[in-house]
Amino acid sequence: MPVQQIPETLTRTKAQSRPETLADVLVIGAGPTGMACAIEAQKAGFKSLIIDKGCLVNSIYHYPNNMVFFTTPELLEIGDVPFTTASAKPNRLEALEYYRRVAEHYHLHIRQYEWVKTITGEDRNFRVTTTDRHDAIHDYRARKIVVATGYYDLANKIGIPGEDTEKVFHYYREPHPYFDRDVVVIGGKNSAAEAALDLWRHGARVTLVHRGSQMHNHVKYWVRPDIENRIKAGEIAAHFNSTVQEIGPDFVVLRTPEGPIRMENDFVFALTGYHPDYDFLRSVGIELSSEQMRPVCDPESLESNVPGIYVAGVIVAGSRTNEIFIENGRFHGKLIAAHIQEKLGGGNPNFPLDAT
């Protein structure tokens, strides 16, 4: 008799294969906040659906490959799922794994790689239109909407000649391609400090250019002495109170307190921050405060000026993107779910989470 082979691995079942076009709560953005919102809505018995234009936790996926969070793991937890790591602070890969496990644990309905383009209709009867990677259009209906679209997709531009050329990046991933090259890093916060150090440690000749008089005081406490000592030792060249005025094919021009400096250059990392997609928020009808572009919303429920549309996560802080992060944005889900429950009269807590 033939011996039956025991397979070493089993094929995974497709997480969410059924078309799901009608949701009680439709969440735009599968970041930590969007996930927390969907989990809390599900716990309250509402049928929830998340749509993301990229992959699950798309922003974290695009962070520098070797980034380490400044937050300890328990403060990144959502849905009461424990997050433990061997070191005091989790790294990017551990966070990606954690959020994948949470999505699986709660059987979250997530449409990845679909870009939400329009929201029409009104409270309890919204219509959401997306496009996928093949330009196909999809329609969804939802009773309530949560916008948790983050800020990492749109870089703050400096507005100088040459900024839009191929040698200029607004995101830093890894150092290897810049070995033995002249690299300018613009910025004075964490992203700039960490990129400058990583590039220097992997053989790039690094010049840091920052308009402030020193590194920003938000730089992680273990990174700051490192960057300051490299600068003191002359290993990383630094120009403070300075700006980049022009980026050419093989040079950059700096404006410094000592006058203009032209230097050889191969690549530029302009790490000057990011901002929410204000146009998208406005297109939905959400009003933004004139000064800090904060969405107008009820601070208790996070319902925006458009009835039935909630805002969550870092976008609530408008341009002040360092006010809300995962640590505090993860609690928005509970506030929103409680308000939706009040308005819709409660979902069905016995509703099987993966039923359609």
Ligand X SMILES: Cc1cc2nc3c(=O)[nH]c(=O)nc-3n(C[C@H](O)[C@H](O)[C@H](O)COP(=O)(O)OP(=O)(O)OC[C@H]3O[C@@H](n4cnc5c(N)ncnc54)[C@H](O)[C@@H]3O)c2cc1C
Site residues for ligand X per CB under 6 A: 28-34, 51-54, 58-59, 63, 67, 69-71, 115-116, 148-150, 152-153, 191, 277, 280, 313-314, 325-327, 329
Tokens of 231: 């600068």
Q: What's the Cα-to-Cα distance from 33 to each of 19, 64, 84, 112, rounded to whole Å?
A: 24, 20, 19, 16
Which of residues 190 and 207 has its CB atom nearest to ligand X in the complex? 190
- Residue 196's nearest CA partner among 164, 163, 169, 230 is 230
Residue 245 Cβ vs ligand X, minimum distance, rounded to whole Å: 26
Cα angle 255, 257, 260; round to 5: 35
Instruction: Note whether 209 and 243 are within 8 A (CB).
Output: yes
Q: What's the Cα-to-Cα distance from 207 to each of 83, 177, 235, 241, rounded to whole Å?
A: 37, 16, 9, 14
Which of residues 54 and 162 has its CB atom nearest to ligand X in the complex? 54
Tokens of 307: 């009835």
Which of residues 170 and 205 has its CB atom nearest to ligand X in the complex? 170
Which of residues 67 and 340 has its CB atom nearest to ligand X in the complex? 67
Residue 313 Cβ vs ligand X, minimum distance, rounded to whole Å: 2
Residue 284 Cβ vs ligand X, minimum distance, rounded to whole Å: 10
Which of residues 49 and 340 has its CB atom nearest to ligand X in the complex? 49
Which of residues 33 and 304 has its CB atom nearest to ligand X in the complex? 33
Residue 198 Cβ vs ligand X, minimum distance, rounded to whole Å: 12
Report how far residue 131's alpha carbon sits from residue 116's, in angstroms, rounded to the nearest whole number: 7
Report how far residue 139's alpha carbon sits from residue 108's, in angstroms, rounded to the nearest whole number: 19
Residue 206 Cβ vs ligand X, minimum distance, rounded to whole Å: 18
Which of residues 94 and 182 has its CB atom nearest to ligand X in the complex? 94
Residue 63 Cβ vs ligand X, minimum distance, rounded to whole Å: 4
Tokens of 91: 């790294």
Tokens of 246: 């022009």
Which of residues 32 and 318 has its CB atom nearest to ligand X in the complex? 32
Which of residues 150 and 162 has its CB atom nearest to ligand X in the complex? 150
Report how far residue 233's alpha carbon sits from residue 7's, in angstroms, rounded to the nearest whole number: 58
* Count of CB atoms situated within 10 Å of the CB of 293: 17
DSSP strand E in the chain: where?
22-28, 48-51, 110-111, 114-122, 125-132, 137-147, 168-169, 182-186, 205-209, 237-239, 243-247, 251-256, 259-264, 267-270, 309-311
Residue 280 Cβ vs ligand X, minimum distance, rounded to whole Å: 6
Report how far residue 114's alpha carbon sits from residue 330's, in angstroms, rounded to the nearest whole number: 23
* Count of CB atoms situated within 10 Å of the CB of 182: 18
